[in-house]
Amino acid sequence: MEAALAELEAALGHEFTSPKLLVRALTHRSLANEQAAALEQSATGGSVSVAVEEKAARAADNERLEFLGDAVLGLVVAEALFLLHPEWHEGELTRVRAQLVSRQHMAEVAVAIGLGSHLRLSRGEDRSGLRRKSTVLSNTMEAVLAALFLDAGLESVRRFVRRYVMGEAAEQLARDLRSGAALGNYKSALQEHLQAAGAGIPVYKVKSESGPDHRKRFLVEVRLKAGEGEPGKPLARGQGSTKKHAEQDAARRALDRLSAAPNEDVSSDGGEEEEQAAR
């Protein structure tokens, strides 16, 4: 347990004064329920009432920390955007903040630091693959940020957010905002771009999968399909921890390519170049 926590603390950039906070942030309700039931049965030698079990579980799982972490995350991201972009109005700040604190993006942040392998789940939920679900990953990430805040204060959360939550993601969203693209939804933006040019429609295909179950990586290719029965010409390739994320990355790369060379024939083969870029 200590070695595993040390690995996560290194990713978070903070050694916890109270490691119990971090353990609680990693504890899913399923494990808290399982442990509460076992504890009460051991103490009473009999069955446990639902009320007693739920009360004990609430004291041990990460849901209260998740509530706090959501608020802390929203504050730190809002503060960063406010300071970085004095030219933005309220609506622009709100739209970009929503993307950065979204379930999808926070799940990606969780994957980036390997959070899934540290989740504390019941045996049943662990076997079901719960530690790979984006909802669980994003919720746990928020709980961990709350634990970081309680143990070390707001500046520790700011450092983590600048490194993992903001960074290139925030810069790309700012570029999207300036270009008028569908903010954060590169697939929609690519489809709109191609339709406006009368070029065809984008189609996506998984080219490969790699990595262990808890750290899957998907390589997806987006192709331009001009008509029925045609295989389509490759535009770009992208990677991600899920098929959806890889598709968004491929669409983003295709948009970047088309924006950089607006007069380029979109039917030319860009797959090989983009495969190298995706790596």
How many Å apart are CA 228 and CA 1, to the nearest integer?
A: 56
How many Å apart are CA 271 and CA 117, to the nearest integer?
A: 33
CB atoms within 10 A of CB 12: 25
Residues 271 and 234 sit within 8 Å (Cβ to Cβ): yes
Q: Which of 53, 61, 142, 249 is catalytic?
A: 142
Phi, psi of 274 (to 5 degrees): -75, -25
Q: The dihedral of CA 245, 89, 177, 112: what is its sign?
A: negative
| 142 noted as active-site residue | yes
| 70 noted as active-site residue | yes
How many Å apart are CA 91 and CA 278, to the nearest integer?
A: 32
Residue that the structure tokens 């870029």 belong to: 277
Q: Which of 70, 151, 221, 275 is catalytic?
A: 70
Structure tokens at 217: 């990586």
Active site residues: 70, 142
